[in-house]
Structure 1
Amino acid sequence: MPQHKSAIKRLRQSEKRKQHNNTRRSKMRTHIKKVLNETDKETAEKYLKEAVSYIDRVSVKGIIHQNNAARKKSKLTNHVNNL
Structure 2
Amino acid sequence: MPNIKSAIKRVRTNDTKNAQNSSVKTAMRSSVKKADKAVANNEENKGDSLKAAIKQVEKAASKGLIHKNTAARRKSSLMKKA
Q: TM-score, normalized by length of structure 2? A: 0.88
Q: In the TM superposition, what is the alpha-carbon distance from 1:54 to its structure 2 partner?
A: 1.7
Counterpart of 1:23 in structure 2: which amino acid? S
**Worse-superposed segment, 29-38 or 41-50:** 41-50
Question: How far is the alpha carbon of 1:45 from its aligned partner?
Answer: 2.0
Q: Any idea what SS the aligned residue of 1:45 has?
A: helix
Distance in 2 of aligned mates of 1:68 and 1:12: 30
Shift of the alpha carbon at 1:9? Answer: 0.2
Unpaired segments ≥5 residues, structure 2? none
Corresponding residue for residue 75 of structure 1: 77
Q: Deviations over 1:36-78 (max 9, x none)?
A: 1112265222211111112111211112111111111111111
Stretch of structure 1 that moved more, 38-47 or 12-21: 38-47
Q: State whether structure 2 residue 66 is matched by structure 1 residue 60.
A: no
**Runs ≥4 residues deviating over 2 A:** none
| Matched residue, 2:23 | 23
Structure 1 unmatched runs, 5+: none
User: Residue 58 of structure 1 aligns to a residue in which SS?
Assistant: helix
* Aligned residues: CA RMSD: 1.3
| Equivalent pairs, count | 80
Distance 1:26 1:59 in 2: 13
